[in-house]
Amino acid sequence: MISKILVPTDGSKAAQKAAKYAVDLAKQLKASVIALSVIDQRSFIFMGQPVAAGETTRHTIEPIEDYLKEAAEGYAGEIKKLCDKNGVQSKLVITTGHPVEDIVKEAEKAKGKSHYHGFSREERFISSGPRSVTYGVIHKDAKIPVLIVRR
């Protein structure tokens, strides 16, 4: 029995489509949804050097880290709204790191801490956003089922 569905999102149309499938499946299975958005740490590197917002050629109103976090929270927040609308329990998780590693780590962490006693399986939905992320997740040595939703 599936008790949790991890839904990684990058805010793309493909991710939104995957989220709809995930929430519909969660509702049918009476499972909960974990909406995950990973801020790719590579976003903070420019030409091999970290760049602070004040050092960019254009003046920015807010540091790039804040902007990316706000965007990630918005992407995951859209999934939460969809869950709320459909009566599905949900949780938001925002991380900064490498998307493949963080998706797999969150799935393994959630698997071990299932809120439904006796059930520890988890289904992962991967949007077809950056193909390297999807490819990386399905080729990791994880023992958790993965469902990919095509664009």
What single DSSP character describes residue 55?
G
Q: What 3-state DSSP class applies to 131?
A: helix
HSE of 109, CA atoms in CB hemisphere, 13 A: 10
Pairing assessment for the beta strands 2-8 and 121-126 based on DSSP bridges: parallel
The neighbour count for residue 25, using CB atoms within 10 Å, is 17
List Cβ<8 Å contacts ≥24 apart for 113-120: 114/3, 114/4, 115/3, 115/4, 115/32, 116/1, 116/3, 119/1, 119/2, 119/3, 120/3
pLDDT tens figures, 52-111:
555 555 555 457 888 899 999 999 999 999 999 999 999 999 999 999 999 999 988 887
Angstrom distance (rounded) from CA 6 to CA 112: 13
E runs forming strands in the chain: 2-8, 32-40, 45-46, 49-50, 90-97, 121-126, 146-148
Given pLDDT bands bounded at 50, 70 and 90, which one contains residue 26? very high
Q: What 3-state DSSP class applies to 31?
A: coil
Q: What is the pLDDT of residue 119?
A: 27
Query: What pTM was computed for the model?
Result: 0.76
pLDDT above 80 for 50: no
